[in-house]
Amino acid sequence: MKVAVPQATISWEAAHAAVAAAVAKAEALGVRINVGVADASGNLVAFLRMPGAFPQSIAIAIDKAYTAGGFGFPTGKWMDVCAGNEGMKLGFSAQPRLVVFGGGLPIRVGGELLGGIGVSGASEEQDGICARAGLLAIGADDVEP
């Protein structure tokens, strides 16, 4: 019987680089965002709030990273996962910290789940674009928002 299982996680260096890339993309788009990176257990590794970004979006960005990193798929895909099952839609959307709209992406390298990145403060589409920029900057597997 195995007692322990090794698990890879995102490094603080990669987390901070992903945050910086997401913010750079937000600047290029002319928007202000909050961006967080969590490990696959949902623990926050890096966070940045751009001056002028909505303070109410702080928790949303962190929770997007928590959701994408924990479940391993983009937050914007939740409605597809729950399609046709109203119980799942209502049940999952009522869970604390679980975000069911776009802006959160899983961070995988070579298919291995390391965590998630979450962006909030712009439109859903812009949040996803910024999150994806974070993935690409650290050489993570590409994910469509």
Residue percentage of the chain with pLDDT more than 90: 81
Q: What CA–CA distance (Å, rounded) separates 53 from 91?
A: 30
pLDDT tens figures, 122-133: 999 999 999 999
pTM equals 0.94
Decide if 27 is inside a domain: yes
Please tell me the predicted confidence (pLDDT) of residue 89: 80
Q: Look at the chain and report how many structural domains it folds into.
A: 1
Decide if 113 is inside a domain: yes
Decide if 6 is inside a domain: no
pLDDT tens figures, 39-91: 999 999 999 999 999 999 999 999 999 999 999 999 999 888 888 888 888 88
Please tell me the predicted confidence (pLDDT) of residue 78: 86
Please tell me the predicted confidence (pLDDT) of residue 8: 92
Please tell me the predicted confidence (pLDDT) of residue 80: 87
Decide if 78 is inside a domain: yes
Q: Which residues pair with 69 in a beta bridge?
A: none
Decide if 3 is inside a domain: no
Q: Which residues pair with 47 in a beta bridge?
A: 36
Decide if 106 is inside a domain: yes
Decide if 2 is inside a domain: no
Q: Are 71 and 108 in contact (CB under 8 A)?
A: no
Domain that holds residue 71: 12-138
Q: Which residues pair with 44 in a beta bridge?
A: 38
DSSP-based three-state secondary structure for 74: coil
Residue percentage of the chain with pLDDT more than 70: 100
CATH code, 76: 3.30.450.150
Confidence of residue 92 (pLDDT cuts 50, 70, 90): confident
